[in-house]
Amino acid sequence: MLFRRAGAFSEAEVTAMDAALQAALGGPRGANPLVGAVVLGPDGRHLVSGFHRGAGTAHAEADAIKQARLQGINLEGATMVVTLEPCNHAGRTGPCSQAIIDAGITRVVYAVDDPHDPAAGGARTLTAAGVDVAAGLAAGEAAELNREWFDAVAAKRPFVTVHIAQTLDSRIAAVDGTSQWISSPESLRDNHGLRGLIDAILVGTETVLVDNPRLTARDPDGALAASQPLRAVMGLREVPADATVRGTDGRFIHLPTRDPAEALSLLFAEGARHVMVEGGSRILGAFLAAGLVDELIVYLAPTLLGSGTPALRDLGITTLADAQHWDWDDAGGGAVRSLGRDLRLHLRPGRTTENHENPTPGKDAAGSVTGGH
């Protein structure tokens, strides 16, 4: 990491970085990392904060600068404290490094470098413009905040969210195959909101044959949302020519494989950086067993079926010591929320070693990769 200087941070900057890390949790996980920013006045006073609300929206730095503009706050001579190196690329929202320079901010403190090639280099641009740049404050915390995202970027694969709509007894369909709708209308709305944010949605062949789903993102009134994910079906069998999922908009892809890693690399090649795996149970089990799930969203309905399709098929686990452990995730609206009659549970791969011999899904106790996460 460039620009790191031991003891180079004031008490106000340390406090501001804590607040920026907390602010970052307001955003959703996905194609972009969680990022928070706090701006301090020349006297160290907190002026404004901002955070990133997901792909296509303003970055945390731009959000904070906008807040300042709205409140009539002059940022000349201010310090920006941010959890990730400011970006350097025009992208969909303009380079943050330039926005910081234009705002008159004279010092930037950031936690970790941006690993993403097109975005990296913001620190260099800032330094070249005469901004005082210091990196490495709370680097461990910031890396942990986006651990799965950094892993996905390094592996050159999309960030993977798994979505499960299940009964209290972990069923996703009844014996006769009916599954619409296990979830409350509020959960369905939430799910369609997510579909509007992701790049691709993926199901197995069997789900297509049984449910004939549309897999589109729809508004509460049923109208198609402005942003539609690529609809992917994974499996060796052909997708029927009249399957609804094919649609007419060209946003359909068949992934003729049973290997989750191959499916993800095919989707990455299509430009997908955030994939939501929606089922059914064999597909969910395959991604989880491979250690290729970065985020788990479970809609838990207060309903019992007693039989039917289990949420997950075999994960290959035969003893408790091999169980996958997950951590509750406070990001993006919290770990547990009520959605109508349902509970929405939000989790990320487990990290804590206490009480667990096998802390990280897809990795053994010694930390060597067994699945690929």
Question: Is 46 an interacting residue with respect to ligand NAP (CB under 6 A)?
Answer: no
Quick note: the x/- pattern for ligand NAP over 277-316, rule CB under 6 A, is -xxxxxx--x----------------------x---x---
Interface residue with ligand NAP, options 32, 49, 106, 205 (CB under 6 A): 205
Question: Is 88 an interacting residue with respect to ligand NAP (CB under 6 A)?
Answer: no
Is residue 96 annotated as involved in ligand binding? yes
Question: Is 211 an interacting residue with respect to ligand NAP (CB under 6 A)?
Answer: yes
Is residue 94 annotated as involved in ligand binding? no
Contact (CB, 8 A) for 19 and 137: no
Burial 123-138 (b: 16+ CB within 10 A, else e): bebbeeeebebbbbbb
- Whole-number minimum distance, CB 286 to ligand NAP, in Å? 3
- The site for ligand NAP, by CB under 6 A, has a size of 28
Is residue 318 annotated as involved in ligand binding? no
Is residue 285 annotated as involved in ligand binding? yes
| Catalytic residue numbers, as ranges | 61
User: What are the structure tokens assigned to 368, written together?
Assistant: 């060597």
Beta carbon nearer to ligand NAP, 62 or 215: 215
Reply yes or no: is the peptide bond before residue 181 cis, omega within 30 of 0. yes
Question: Is 173 an interacting residue with respect to ligand NAP (CB under 6 A)?
Answer: yes
Contact (CB, 8 A) for 108 and 126: yes
Interface residue with ligand NAP, options 99, 203, 264, 275 (CB under 6 A): 203
Question: Is 237 an interacting residue with respect to ligand NAP (CB under 6 A)?
Answer: yes
Interface residue with ligand NAP, options 31, 234, 296, 345 (CB under 6 A): 234
Beta carbon nearer to ligand NAP, 30 or 204: 204
- How far apart are alpha carbons 159 and 308 in whole angstroms? 30
- How far apart are alpha carbons 41 and 171 in whole angstroms? 54
Beta carbon nearer to ligand NAP, 279 or 359: 279
Question: Is 210 an interacting residue with respect to ligand NAP (CB under 6 A)?
Answer: yes
**Selected range binding ligand NAP among 1-9, 246-254, 275-283, 325-333, rule: CB under 6 A:** 275-283
Interface residue with ligand NAP, options 172, 188, 198, 201 (CB under 6 A): 172
Question: Is 187 an interacting residue with respect to ligand NAP (CB under 6 A)?
Answer: no
- Whole-number minimum distance, CB 367 to ligand NAP, in Å? 25
Question: Is 371 an interacting residue with respect to ligand NAP (CB under 6 A)?
Answer: no
Is residue 207 annotated as involved in ligand binding? yes
Is residue 73 annotated as involved in ligand binding? no
Beta carbon nearer to ligand NAP, 65 or 234: 234
- Whole-number minimum distance, CB 234 to ligand NAP, in Å? 5
- Burial class (CB within 10 angstroms; exposed 0-12, middle 13-18, buried 19+) of 96: buried
- How far apart are alpha carbons 85 and 327 in whole angstroms? 27
> What's the Cα-to-Cα distance from 261 to each of 38, 57, 84, 350, rounded to whole Å?
38, 29, 28, 21
The number of C-alpha atoms within 13 Å of 282 and in the hemisphere containing its C-beta is 11
Chain contacts with ligand NAP (rule: CB under 6 A): 164-165, 172-173, 177, 179, 182, 203-207, 210-211, 234-237, 258, 278-283, 286, 309, 313
Which residue ranges are tagged as binding site?
59, 87, 96, 165, 179, 181, 195, 207, 211, 215, 218, 278, 280-286
Which residue ranges are tagged as binding site for Zn(2+)?
59, 87, 96
Which residue ranges are tagged as binding site for substrate?
179, 215, 218, 278
